[in-house]
Amino acid sequence: MAFVSLRSATLLGVQGAPVEIEIHLGMGLPGFTIVGQPDESCRESRDRVRAALLSCDLPWPNRRITVNLANGANERKGGAGLDVAIAIGLLVVQEMLTAEAVAPYAFIGELGLDGSLRGVAGVVPLVAAIDDRIVVVPKAVLREARVVSQHTVRGVASLSELVQCLRGEQQWYQPEPLTSIREEYEQSDMADVRGQSAARHACEIAAAGAHHLLLVGPPGAGKSMLAQRLAGILPDLSDTDAVTSTIVHSAAHIALPQSGLVSRPPFRAPHHSTSLVAMVGGGTSALRPGEISLATNGVLFLDELGEFAPSVLDALRQPLEEGVVRIARARSSVSLPAKFLLIAATNPCPCGEGAPGICVCDDRAKQKYLRRFSGPLLDRFDLRVAVTRPHVDELLAAQPSESSQQIAARVMRARQYALQRGGCLNSALPADMLDVHAPLTEGAAKLLRNHLERGRLSGRGYHRVRRVARTIADLHSEQEHVEEKHVAVALALRVGVQPQFSGDRVAQ
């Protein structure tokens, strides 16, 4: 038999695409050619496959070998995940295996030179892309492959094992059945944060209503500590959200939790030197998901917001609005999920102190510093809170803080109220539905009016404050009207980032 066709899959963004691997063995000078727009790592599989076959005492045909990678889209095929399929195909054309024996299977995996099977990026979407066959994957990623797909999946450790299984000389490895392993997550607890009651309160509101949060404060005030604990008070992911997050993590080849399913909201904290591509995704020909996609359904924490490149920050604006990021390259374009809760921390001014009377920066220096963040980005933060280093005495005198568990319960309840009421979290409430879902009491309306009249609140800010106030009311189980105190808190937690001076008889 001089020709065989096998099934495998390649990855683009967070989506797998099935690929037909056609192998032809013909007369001519011995050689090995891969056609069908393979990328560099794909072309290298020639050497890996040869070494792996020889290592396993399997024959290598000294004839002219042509491998064609075919899928309908005529796209470039990348990755080393096609190695196993090519190796098995070569054994079929050499009649070491029968075509019938391999027909019900699809193969995903990279080969080591010793014939072992290695995991590849994006096993979850790759397996999901193949719908009518049993998928053989490296044993290392078997758990991952089984979690989200309904397919029959087989795991093997090496090429020789795979050959024996296909010949029927050995039983397929039987993994223990998937019990719903609930993992004990080691997450830091909000109870560790002493003092900072306003900031903790802001975190709670951010979690309950999915409001983006900006923490402004000097170094060492506990901004990062708060942000890290924020993921812990978010509720578990729903099944669909968990699958989405798992697929993204798999596509980026990030270690999955023990249970295989990302069931807790992810927490991503990229360093401020992160490049644009690493942030939004792209880069490789497979268009690897970026940090914002990895943070999907979880928290994206940007420490030292002012140190990020302006282009990186501005690239966040569209995903923040739409919840997806569309990446287009000359050869391909993909849309990646990017529905995250943005938590950012920044120093208030160049000297880092910020507190009036302590800070040595004049207004101009402060303005110059704050000009690093574009206005539209600052506008996306519903909550802007000043955080300070608590005084030692104050720290010791403070009551022990609430634990994450207690806060999470309230967050969960508030989220349920919001979902029952409007079908979405409060931050996503459309402006025209605010009067329906977040009616104001007279006092609340008056307070907002006062702020609008004095130019302290823009039109957009007005809607944002109302959404936050709705969340605050929900957290206090105040399901009907939004009261004046809720609006007052929403306003107090949305401090002007610009230094302000008003409210006196001279300026009026």
Partner 1 sequence: MNKPTSIDDECVIAAVLATKASVKSRALSHMLDRFTPSQIASHHIEHPPTLQECERMADRLELTAMNVTYVGARDYPTMLLSDPSRSPVLFWRGDMTALQQRRVGVVGTRSATAAGRYMASHLSFDLAERGIAIVSGLARGVDAWAHKGVSVAHMRKSSPTTLGIPVGVVASGLDVVYPKENLELWNFVSEFGLLLSESPPGTAPEAYRFPMRNRILAALSEVLVVVESRAAGGSMITVEEAQKRDITVMAVPGSPRNTSSAGTNLLLQQGCAPVVGVDDVLVALGLDTRSEHPPIFDSRPPLLAQDAALAATMAGDALTLDQLVLRTRRDVLDLAFALGRMESLGWVVNNGGWWEVLGVQSQSGYGGFHGIESHVGD
Give the interface with partner 1 as residue ranges (CB under 8 A): 195-199, 201, 216-217, 348, 354-364, 366, 384-388, 390-391, 393-394, 397-398, 447, 450-451, 472, 476, 484-485, 487-489, 491-493, 495-508
User: Measured from the CB of residue 241, what is the shortest distance to partner 1 in angstroms?
Assistant: 30
d(CA 377, CA 463): 16
Cβ burial, residue 462 (10 Å; 0-12/13-18/19+)? middle
- Comparison of 338 and 349: residue with beta carbon closer to partner 1: 349
User: Measured from the CB of residue 357, what is the shortest distance to partner 1 in angstroms?
Assistant: 3
What is the token pair recorded at 285? 């020909």
User: Measured from the CB of residue 328, what is the shortest distance to partner 1 in angstroms?
Assistant: 40
User: Measured from the CB of residue 434, what is the shortest distance to partner 1 in angstroms?
Assistant: 20
CA dihedral 407→190→203→387, nearest 10 degrees, is 140
- Comparison of 278 and 445: residue with beta carbon closer to partner 1: 445
- Residues 53 and 116 sit within 8 Å (Cβ to Cβ): no
d(CA 236, CA 239): 9
- Comparison of 333 and 477: residue with beta carbon closer to partner 1: 477
Sequence-separated (6 or more) residues with CB below 8 Å from residue 453 = none
| DSSP H or E stretch at residue 45 | helix 45-55
Going by C-alpha positions, the residue among 191, 241, 112 that lies closest to residue 398 is 191
d(CA 371, CA 356): 19
Biggest distance spanned by C-alpha atoms of the chain:
97
Q: Which amino acid is at 256?
A: L
User: Measured from the CB of residue 465, what is the shortest distance to partner 1 in angstroms?
Assistant: 11
- Distance from chain centroid for Cα 467: 25
Sequence-separated (6 or more) residues with CB below 8 Å from residue 131 = 151
User: Measured from the CB of residue 354, what is the shortest distance to partner 1 in angstroms?
Assistant: 7
- Comparison of 7 and 486: residue with beta carbon closer to partner 1: 486
| DSSP H or E stretch at residue 440 | none
User: Measured from the CB of residue 280, what is the shortest distance to partner 1 in angstroms?
Assistant: 30
- Other Cβ atoms less than 10 A from the Cβ of 450: the count is 12
What is the token pair recorded at 258? 């023990």
d(CA 244, CA 240): 6
User: Measured from the CB of residue 401, what is the shortest distance to partner 1 in angstroms?
Assistant: 12
Going by C-alpha positions, the residue among 72, 82, 79, 64 that lies closest to residue 21 is 82
- Comparison of 34 and 491: residue with beta carbon closer to partner 1: 491
Sequence-separated (6 or more) residues with CB below 8 Å from residue 195 = 390, 394, 395, 398
DSSP for 296-313, written as a single string: TTSEEEESSGGGS-HHHH
Cβ burial, residue 191 (10 Å; 0-12/13-18/19+)? middle
- Comparison of 64 and 456: residue with beta carbon closer to partner 1: 456
Q: Which residues pair with 424 in a beta bridge?
A: none
- Comparison of 4 and 473: residue with beta carbon closer to partner 1: 473
User: Measured from the CB of residue 366, what is the shortest distance to partner 1 in angstroms?
Assistant: 7
- Comparison of 398 and 428: residue with beta carbon closer to partner 1: 398
User: Measured from the CB of residue 488, what is the shortest distance to partner 1 in angstroms?
Assistant: 3
- Comparison of 61 and 350: residue with beta carbon closer to partner 1: 350
User: Measured from the CB of residue 187, what is the shortest distance to partner 1 in angstroms?
Assistant: 23
- Comparison of 49 and 305: residue with beta carbon closer to partner 1: 305
User: Measured from the CB of residue 502, what is the shortest distance to partner 1 in angstroms?
Assistant: 6
Q: For the chain, what is the radius of gyration of the CA atoms?
A: 28
d(CA 88, CA 84): 6
- Comparison of 168 and 356: residue with beta carbon closer to partner 1: 356
- Comparison of 76 and 201: residue with beta carbon closer to partner 1: 201
- Residues 429 and 423 sit within 8 Å (Cβ to Cβ): no
